[in-house]
Structure 1
């Protein structure tokens, strides 16, 4: 055998070996890919380094004071933006899992990129993140799929979807030995969400499940309007009023990109005995970036079952009741507002406050108003009771001094001329006639479709307007509606009261 022939044979043989290896490797990769959904958004929505990711999740969780909720936890609602934006809010939901054990987590979220008819239920394999793999509960997934022809497994709907993937690192850090059933769904109709909820509940058997709905809230409104829009959804959820939420979503008065996931989760939780929804944390991207022009809202909620003796005091506390603040409590809040503004405009840092007064730790709506030489210098607040009063005052002090789009940020050199006024609100109640409005006592909200506006009670006193002029200006100047829109039967009108107090001059 010639030397040239041997060399040619060797090259050919090695080429075949290399080709076989490539084909085999491709086959192995394809087989692996068919069983394991890789972390599509690692390195974008969250860190790709296992250590950095674990440290960031643990950091978010450590920032949340453990609040032991009464009753039995059945479901959570959590946001799904990049961790830099919504990770801290999500941590308020997942902190509730400390000490809990679940066999399977049902993950419900929207499909942002692929149209989905019905619901796509991921049926087999594993989902992988930098923190490891989580097994799909194929038995439960296939049982759900079997309940209706609109339930199916479309891998394309899950491949590039982030809404469920971003929940996994939090689950991996807070639970042990659990499986998942990922479901993407966009049909928010009452009939379909009830159908899917029934399928989940009837399929679970004796397994202990946790339901997680993934959604962000309002998108790309100015900071103040975002708080108003998200306040509507928060109120409906905390009142367990899905009919009202559905109406407000369809009318554009509230926004949830994962509306179908939320409806399904609440209905399934209700079938499992849930009777209470509690807001754990609300914030928006403006709180993180400082850019208040176009923000995205994030909320963390717990859905649970409370016994009668557990529910009554909890509900009263969460309604942002009508208890009046005494002079000492007023001074505490005014001090918090002043110290927050001073430190923030000088250093960019937010001071921490240790407050033990139960009334100041209740969730209340609040506005912080700034004046300079008798002229308005900024005014922003929460209409709805979104967080603890003293924390809301600190946050709104920052917003009114730096985030009111009508004015430039307060400068350090003008700080001593700033006068601070705080309005602590009751929860708005809808009225049937403007005759119910008491000028100088009631603040008023008008809402029609996407448009809404608010005047605090003191506006009537400060301007001397008649009721008709007050309502005309509210509609035209604040809600950007025709001046007489308050006469339209389609316009909703709400009133609230406020305890208003200011610094001693």
Structure 2
């Protein structure tokens, strides 16, 4: 290469790096711009992450964990300052412990900004002292596409040029951050809470969310500034409509001012969407007002926590997952012991012992995943897909990685060890398929690959969520960071594998 050619090459590389850095900076600045900063931290709830966690944990300790015999699809939660309504809100959010949701759709009223549409925050995220929760942009777009009444906008969300800033979406998020992992949000503010708008929004959410694992939260307080007993009477009438799942009756009562709720539209929209998504039952978890929480009963505000749920089948059959690879009960017990001892030792910083293994099945080369849960919630999951090492060595390595190196979670702490449960999935070799008709839900896990993006979901994930084949494909695309319909594209590769799945009781 001549001197001129070398100079030209170096200049080209420098220019490429320069424009790449500039594009990266523009992208970062754009993303930063779309993050809504906390508007009421330090007012409605503590601005310190430590103090906020401590306060919510105190609320949870005081809230009863009740039996909700089904899948929670929607809920009503108050949005006053935490010292007033946090105790009531905790009754609802505590029921979500150990649950998994892809997306939480939060519907709130607009207290300070006037507009006629239903405003869906389109991108970026909402920040609280506990971190940023990102917007499910795809779901937001799908909801907005259902009606011209629904717009992608920062109306009702924005803080610029407003004397008072909206709080009704924001105050729900720290509770969600305390009980859920790996979820996104769709923040929605209703400028006009007419019954027509509530119907439009409820139907739009139901259509957009079909086949997805979503939770819908109606952010609302009840009656405002009545004497204590008068407030209780008014709120009791509203609660009776909720208990009967009578959203049309509730909407009419609100229009006639027989009952009060600053988020009446969000409540009605949530009830409509939840019903269309299969929720037929209601459970009232807690009612109180500011006279109960703060003592002054002359002018109070009412607070309600309630959930709408899809009832479980009576005596459901246990769903079979994966396949039998011939591991004996003793083999399974030894692998669980290897995984658990490895986790304990690596978390405590102690040497991992050498394990005496003689079973031919454990000496076979196999891929495997180790899943760690705490109180039923995912705490770490790492695996090796291909059979590179003997099964027991694979389990040992991925157990350590799941405990210490899952990028979604902080490393497991020694004080958590007694609360952890371990599940192992021993894998077959993935096979590329030509048709999605080859996928058997319950038997197969999926790998979807397109370009440099790849996502994997284990067989038990589909059965845990009750997905059908296409829902499983969409979820795996989402895991890969791809559009949920990427599985339909000709350059997308789909692989299936199966697993023998077992764990601690």
CA–CA separation in structure 2 for the residues paired with 1:212 and 1:60: 19
CA–CA separation in structure 2 for the residues paired with 1:195 and 1:221: 32
Alignment of 1:4-403 (within 5 A): 31=30, 33-159=32-158, 160-306=165-311
CA–CA separation in structure 2 for the residues paired with 1:198 and 1:28: 34
CA–CA separation in structure 2 for the residues paired with 1:197 and 1:246: 13
Q: Deviations over 1:218-272 (max 9, x none)?
A: 0000001000000000011101112321232122221010011001000000001
CA–CA separation in structure 1 for the residues paired with 2:51 and 2:150: 37
Q: Is the 8 A contact 2:108 2:219 kept in 1?
A: yes
CA–CA separation in structure 1 for the residues paired with 2:233 and 2:181: 38
Query: Alpha-carbon deviation of 1:146?
Result: 1.6
The structure that has the greater radius of gyration is 1
Q: Deviations over 1:306-327 (max 9, x none)?
A: 25869xxxxxxxxxxxxxxxxx
Query: Alpha-carbon deviation of 1:32?
Result: 5.4
CA–CA separation in structure 2 for the residues paired with 1:295 and 1:201: 34
What TM-score results when the alignment is normalised by the length of structure 2? 0.54
The residue aligned with 1:412 is none
CA–CA separation in structure 1 for the residues paired with 2:297 and 2:29: 46
CA–CA separation in structure 2 for the residues paired with 1:30 and 1:115: 29
Q: Is the 8 A contact 1:280 1:301 kept in 2?
A: yes
The residue aligned with 1:398 is none
Q: Is the 8 A contact 1:186 1:258 kept in 2?
A: no
Query: Alpha-carbon deviation of 1:154?
Result: 2.4
The residue aligned with 1:404 is none
Instruction: State the SS of the aligned residue for 1:158.
Output: coil
CA–CA separation in structure 2 for the residues paired with 1:238 and 1:308: 21
Gaps of 5+ in 1: 1-25, 311-505
Query: Alpha-carbon deviation of 1:114?
Result: 0.9
Q: Deviations over 1:253-303 (max 9, x none)?
A: 210100110010000000011112221000000112211100000000011
Q: Is the 8 A contact 1:188 1:263 kept in 2?
A: no
Instruction: State the SS of the aligned residue for 1:252.
Output: coil
CA–CA separation in structure 2 for the residues paired with 1:240 and 1:205: 20
CA–CA separation in structure 2 for the residues paired with 1:303 and 1:189: 22
Q: Deviations over 1:445-465 (max 9, x none)?
A: xxxxxxxxxxxxxxxxxxxxx
Q: Deviations over 1:351-393 (max 9, x none)?
A: xxxxxxxxxxxxxxxxxxxxxxxxxxxxxxxxxxxxxxxxxxx
Query: Alpha-carbon deviation of 1:96?
Result: 0.8
Q: Is the 8 A contact 1:61 1:95 kept in 2?
A: yes
CA–CA separation in structure 1 for the residues paired with 2:313 and 2:225: 40
Query: Alpha-carbon deviation of 1:88?
Result: 0.4
Residues 188 and 157 of structure 1, relative CA distance in 2, 3 Å threshold = closer
CA–CA separation in structure 2 for the residues paired with 1:308 and 1:132: 38
Q: Is the 8 A contact 2:210 2:277 kept in 1?
A: no
What TM-score results when the alignment is normalised by the length of structure 1? 0.54
CA–CA separation in structure 2 for the residues paired with 1:27 and 1:288: 48
Q: Deviations over 1:88-115 (max 9, x none)?
A: 0000010110110000000001011111
Instruction: State the SS of the aligned residue for 1:55.
Output: helix
Instruction: State the SS of the aligned residue for 2:245.
Output: coil
CA–CA separation in structure 2 for the residues paired with 1:247 and 1:204: 27
CA–CA separation in structure 1 for the residues paired with 2:248 and 2:211: 30
CA–CA separation in structure 2 for the residues paired with 1:203 and 1:87: 30
CA–CA separation in structure 2 for the residues paired with 1:140 and 1:81: 27
CA–CA separation in structure 2 for the residues paired with 1:243 and 1:207: 26
Query: Alpha-carbon deviation of 1:168?
Result: 0.3
Gaps of 5+ in 2: 1-24, 159-164, 316-505
Q: Deviations over 1:316-343 (max 9, x none)?
A: xxxxxxxxxxxxxxxxxxxxxxxxxxxx
Q: Report the aligned-residue RMSD.
A: 2.0
Question: Aligned residues, how many?
Answer: 285
Q: Is the 8 A contact 2:122 2:152 kept in 1?
A: yes
CA–CA separation in structure 2 for the residues paired with 1:87 and 1:142: 31
